Each structure stands twice: as C-alpha cells, then as structure tokens.
Structure 1
Amino acid sequence: MSTALLKKTLRNFLKSNSSPRKYHKTNSHVIYQWFKWLAPGLFVKRWLLLSAVGVLLTSLGIGISTGMTPVFYTLQTLKGFLAWITTILPNYISGPIAILSGLLFIFWGQNRSLNNITQVLMPEGNDKLVDLLLTHRRLNRGPKILAIGGGTGLSNLLRGLKDYSANITAVVTVADDGGSSGRLRREIGVQPPGDIRNCLAALASEEKLLTELFQYRFSAGDGLNGHSFGNLFLTAMSEVTGDLERAIAASSQVLAVQGQVLPATLTDVNLWAELSDGRRIEGESNITEAGGKIVKIGCTPENPPALPKVLQAIEEADYIIIGPGSLYTSVIPNLLVSEITEAIACRNIPSIYVCNIMTQPGETDGYTVADHIRAIDVACGKKLFDTVLAQGKSPSEKALIKYAQEGSHPVFLDREAVKNLGRKILLTNVMYEDEKTGVIRHDSMMLARVLFQWYSRV
C-alpha cells in the first residue's frame, strides 16, 4: 500500500514538470500557496519545529523508560534494511529518493490538513486562509491612525485606510441635527448616528453589502419613512446596551469592523455660529442653510467632556489625520471638545490636514487652503497639524460648470499664505470625478496611498 502511494505521489510530482502548462501553473500555485505558511509573522515555523522536537523527546522518553532495548533493536533492524537497500541502489541514488519521498509526504500531508481547515473556516473558498492570515498580520502591524472628521469625507477616507492598517480610530462628530439623525435625536433623545453609521460601514469587512443595508432608507410608513436602516439599528443598540459607546462596540463586533469608531463626546452637543452680518444661527443643519459668512463657531454646552477612549487613542496614536469633510459642521465640531484639542497639541507625531477639493456653499464660499487652516486654528486656539494635503489637478470643465451652478468652486492653493501659517504643503492628485454625475471627491485608495507614502517619509 505504501509503495503504491509513493509511486502515485512521485507520478503526480513528475507530472507537474512534464504536463501541459495549465497543470504546471496549478501545481506551482499550490506549492506557492503552501510555502506562504512559512512566511515570517504567521508563527508557523516555530510550531512545526516544536512539534518535531516533541516527537524526538517522546521517542527518547520511550527509549529511556524501556531501558533502550526496543530502540536498540529497532536501530539495528533499520541499519540492516538500509544496508540491503544500498546493495540494490547506491546511496547517492537511494538517499536523495528517500529524502524526496519524505518531503513529498510532509508536503502532501500538511497540504491536505491545511485544505481541510480552510474548507471548514472558509466554506465559500473566496480566498485562501493563508492569504487572509498574512493580510491580517500585515494590517495589525500597521501604524495606529487617528482620523478626525465626519460626514462622507471621513467615511471615504476610512475606506482606503483600512487596506493599510487595522489600527484605525475614527473620531466622529455628534452635532448632526438634520435628516434621519435629527429626527431620532429629537424624538428619542439619542445622539445622532448618521456619521457613525457611515464610518462603521466603511470599516466593515463586507463593506459593499453592509453599506447597501446600512444606507437603505425606508420609503413608506408614517414612522419609518426617510429613516435609514443603519440609524435605526444603532438607535436600537443604544437602547439595548445603555449608551452610544457600547452600541458602537457591539455593532462593530457584529459587523466585523476593522478598527474602531468613537464619538467625540457622549454629551448632547448643539452647534451655533455667528455670521458676519451679526446673525447667530443655532443648529448644525441651519448653519449651512443660513447662507452667510461664518466668523465664529461654538457649541452648547461649552467644552463638553471628551470620551475617555478618544483621549487614549490620541495618546497611543502614531499618525493623526484631520479631514476631509465639511469644515464647520464635520471637522471643527470634534475640535471644539477642548480635551481632544489639548491632547492632539501635546503629541509630537506626524499630523496632516486633508483640505477639501471644492468649496461648500453656505459654509466656505470663496475659501482658499489658507482660509481652511485659519478657521481650524482660530476654533482650536492651537496648531494641531504641520502639513496640509491639497489637490493639484483641476477638475474637468464639465464638472466646474456643474459645481459653479451650485455656487461651489475649487479651493485655491495660496502657497505663500499657507507657508506664512507655518505649514508644509503636500500637493498631489487624489481626485475622483464621476463621469456620469460629475460629482467630485477624494479617491479613497489614491488618498490612502499618498497619506501612507508621506507618513513613511516623515
């Protein structure tokens, strides 16, 4: 039986070198996949070696406990058998054959074992288990990133960052009072879940399906109409677990989120803004609609306490990214929590602000890159970042016309003013323009790649 098995194994091995190219590629891929298990960081080699040492120690223990008699006779028999083999085949032939046969048996046995494990853990077989383990190890060795913002800008950034690190903490504003989030906030008294929902979906392993599910809006029913499923899910989790922080943690486990999403504060915060014409506007959704120039922004209550986990994440961070997102209603609201601002200012680590590509009507009309920086500096009273990322390439003429009709224009890079503010400029092209809709935003993957390249050089 064993001889037949050996012949079959050798035949398959030789076939891989002499058969058509298709089979050669298949076998080469299998061998390549198997050797991935020996890659650094998977902690497989040390356990294989430990197993081999265990076999030797067990054999030695049996020999000692039996007075070495069985071992002695076994070795004598084996010596005679090997001598007989060399009379048929010289040792320079029989030796390599025995080594090759042993390696083939080890390879075959380990490969079948790992395949069986993969079939149990991954019945769909979308990816090899070893590839997932290698990716998992690589991502867990990534830098600890703190991303601050809100709205679609932050979730778009997270979608790209999660391919470079699993150690991501997204700090999200909870000042939203419009749409479904605003209704839930007024009717139930929970903190607005909208931006948190977007970030959870962006960091989820099954992003496409979960995004569709979380972003699904009910279009019928007196109570459900206009609400998104994700907002209702987080609201229900808040009621079950007791607060938003626990609800996010529980939801993250259910959704297999890579990293963590944290609200800047658990306090019920309301934004207010003073406009150049003297008006004072209350409420995040009303600020943009007011259509004036913002000269000062704040929140009620003043200086709300930061979530302790946010302060811990800042203390442990290797890299801080601020933005992109609506300047006054997504980015700055997080920085109105003075404890967060103080904690960031105390860290001497790479920090960068991702400036918006286009101005936002009713919020940053006519703003340049330096104007965005000044707004953050004034709101915080401190310098929180040393570099600003700005878009270099201009949008297409079609997109410019579309946005101009809405009162939006590209954010102009005034180099000298930025340098006078003590900031370095990272000028790059990370823009994505949808050909059908003409919508302009940062390309998730391009932005993440540029940010990591910059981080590796700092």
Structure 2
Amino acid sequence: MDHLPRVTALGGGHGLSASLQALRQVTDQLCAVVTVADNGGSSGRLRGELGGLPPGDLRMALAALCGDDSTGRQWAGVLQSRFHSPGPLNGHAIGNLLIEGVWQHLGPVEGLELVGQLLHVQGRVLPMSLVPLAIEADVIGADPRRPDDPCVIRGQHEVAVAQGEVLCIRLVPDAPPACPQAVAAVEDADFIVLGPGSWFTSVLPHLVVPELADAIVNARGRRVLTLNVVPAGETEGFSPARHLELLAEHAPALRLDTIIVDAAFAADDRHLHRYAQALGAEVVVADLRMRDGSARHDPLRLASVYRELMVG
C-alpha cells in the first residue's frame, strides 16, 4: 500500500477509545463511527432535556484523537473533565456541553467537524445515525420470578447492568437511517475495525442499522474484529467463540478477514478457530493486555498488531 491506510473504526465508549488510541499511531486517515444510544449519566440528562443525539461516546472518541502534544493532552483532559457543583451542572462532562452548544448552531455532523478542528484531532468522528436511538434486549434471568423466561430490557445503561444473560438486541426505532457520511466512510475505507467494547451496547448496534450493516458486509476494505481482553458485564463468562456466534446471529451475511484476540483470552477456547473459519477470518493472537495486568488493551501493543496488519 503506497499510502497510509484509510481506517474506519466502529464502536463506542472505552473500547472505541482504546482502538482509536492505537490506530492513530498507524495512520492519520482515521474515521470513528460512534453509537448514539447512550441514555446514562451526563448524556442521558442532556438527551432528556434537549432531545437529539447523546454526546458522550462522541466526546470520548474526540478525546482519543486529540494530539499527543501538550495542547492536545490538555484538550483531552478538558473534554473528559466534569463539573463539580451543588447545582444542575454537577456531573456534566465539559465536552458534552461544548458539543451540545455547537450542535445547536450547526447540527451533528458539521458540529462535530468544527469541534474536531478546534481540538486539532487526528481523524474524524461521526455518529452512526442522525436519529437518537434506544437499545432493547431480550434477557433471560432478569426477572427472578421467571428465571427461565426471556424479558425485554430497554435502554443502553439498563442493558449494560442487567442481571441475567442477554440473548439479542434491537434498536428503537427499528431500522433507523444511517448517517450518510458514516456509510461513505465505511465504503471508502481500506480497513473497517469493529470492537473492542461492550458487545451488546457498543459493537453489535452497528450491525442492526441496515444501511450501515450493508456497507460493512459489502465493503471493499478488509474487515477486522478486535475482541475484548476479558469478557465482563454484558458478556461475563462468554468465550471468544460465543462473541463470534453473537456477531453471526445479528449479521448473518457478515464475513471477516481478521480477528484479533488477546493470548490469555484465546488460550482455553478450543472452538475459536472453527468459528473464525466459518466467518472467513484468520485469527491473530497476541499479548494485548496492559502491562499492569488490568483488563484493558495496551494501546502500544494493539497498535503494533494493527501496524503489522495494515502497513506490514
């Protein structure tokens, strides 16, 4: 490849942030496509008061793409910091209010572009849809009175903390329109990266937006899936193979080129390679965990794998 690869990364929250921190060390031709179903914390409060898209996951993506110089690090810190007060501003992320203020003048896509220019971000941040969404899940074991029956849980935060096993997710409204610029970014990419992140609330939602899912399935670029270092929360106890099975259930037509798995997570899963083969993918196993042993991706280690895969 005689140019830096064009990479579109899809996800939300801390998982997407980790992926972007790694990818920005490989290329500056980078676009983040971010989930817009957050209903908790500062984003949920703003969504309830103002309507429109929740800014929180978009803010985190912008912070991850801020420059590595002192100004960039300062801006990232400002975006992520929160107000501390006895009044209604308490707990709001400063970056959320900045984004909301710009949106009122320019709208979501142009507003994010302006904030990105202000912060000198390396890359571009887009919402997966211009419609604020809700996540709805079928969960077994959420109701202790009916432990064997599935019940419906609604809301990203509620799904993320639900007791029981999540079976599948849907979006409300059903079949929402994709952000056209996000679809174009997937179509133009040399590499499309899914994950890591909360499987049901950050990764799978992209595959149930029909236009976006079609773009991913039919993309000319190579499709890369990065699995989490440790299954937790929504997927606690799930094997790597079970993560792949859920992906296939939500997007049966999806095929992958590469699946990146942490060595410790892959070690005890004898079904991983068979499931990966069914999706058309090669498995890349590497030590990806933070050196202190915490259950997070080390951006430098992940960047090394991305670089080998995308640049050679």
TM-score, normalization by structure 1 = 0.62
Match runs of 1:10-409 below 5 Å = 141-205=3-67, 206-241=71-106, 243-276=107-140, 277-361=149-233, 363-393=234-264
1:452 is aligned to 2:311: no
Query: What amino acid is aligned across from residue 218 of structure 2 in structure 1?
Result: C
1:192-223 alpha-carbon deviations (Å, 9 max, x no partner):
11111011111122432112101111111321
The answer on 1:429 being equivalent to 2:287 is: yes
User: Aligned partner of 1:188: which letter?
Assistant: L
| DSSP-derived class of the 2:130 partner | coil
- The answer on whether the counterparts of 2:55 and 2:96 sit within 8 Å (CA) in structure 1 is yes
> Is the contact between residue 369 and residue 418 of structure 1 (CA under 8 Å) also seen in structure 2?
no
Larger C-alpha radius of gyration, 1 or 2?
1
Identity of aligned residues (%): 34
- What's the CA shift string for 1:73-117, capped at 9, x where partnerless? xxxxxxxxxxxxxxxxxxxxxxxxxxxxxxxxxxxxxxxxxxxxx
Other structure's SS at 2:58 match: helix
The answer on whether the counterparts of 2:5 and 2:310 sit within 8 Å (CA) in structure 1 is no
Return the alpha-carbon distance in structure 1 between the equivalents of residues 276 and 51 of structure 2.
45
Q: Distance in 2 between matches of 1:251 and 1:411?
A: 42
Task: Tell whether the 8 Å contact from 1:369 to 1:412 is kept in structure 2 after alignment.
Answer: no
Q: Whole-Å Cα distance in 2 between the matches of residues 360 and 300 of structure 1?
A: 25
The gaps in structure 2 that reach 5 residues or longer are: 141-148
The one-letter amino acid paired with 2:95 is G
Displacement of 1:431 in angstroms is 1.1
With normalisation by structure 2, the TM-score equals: 0.90
Structure 1 residue 164 displacement after superposition: 2.0
Q: Using a 3 Å threshold, how does the CA distance of structure 1 residues 387 and 299 change in structure 2: closer, same or farther?
A: same
1:418 aligns with 2:289: no
Contact 1:272 1:280 in 2 (8 A): yes
Show CA shifts across 1:407-429 (max 9, x none).
Answer: xxx89533344345343210011
Distance 1:359 1:217, change over 3 A: same
Per-residue CA deviation, residues 278-318 of structure 1 (Å, 9 max, x unaligned), is 21001010012221111121011111111111111112111
* Runs of 4+ residues over 4 Å off in structure 1: none
Pair 1:419–1:213, CA change in 2 (3 A): closer
d(CA) in 2 for partners of 1:328 and 1:170?
Answer: 18
- Provide the rounded CA distance (Å) in 1 between the counterparts of 2:220 and 2:76: 36
Unaligned runs of 5+ in 1: 1-139, 395-409
Tell me the distance in 2 between the aligned counterparts of 1:281 and 1:366: 20
CA RMSD of aligned residues (A): 1.8
Q: What count of residue pairs does the alignment treat as equivalent?
A: 298
**What secondary structure does 1:290 align onto?**
coil
Structure with more helix by fraction: 1
Deviations 1:138-197 (CA, angstroms, capped at 9, x unpaired)? xx9411001011111111111121122111010000011011111100111131111110
Question: How many Å separate the matches in 2 of 1:455 and 1:252?
Answer: 25
1:376 partner letter: L
Distance 1:411 1:335, change over 3 A: farther
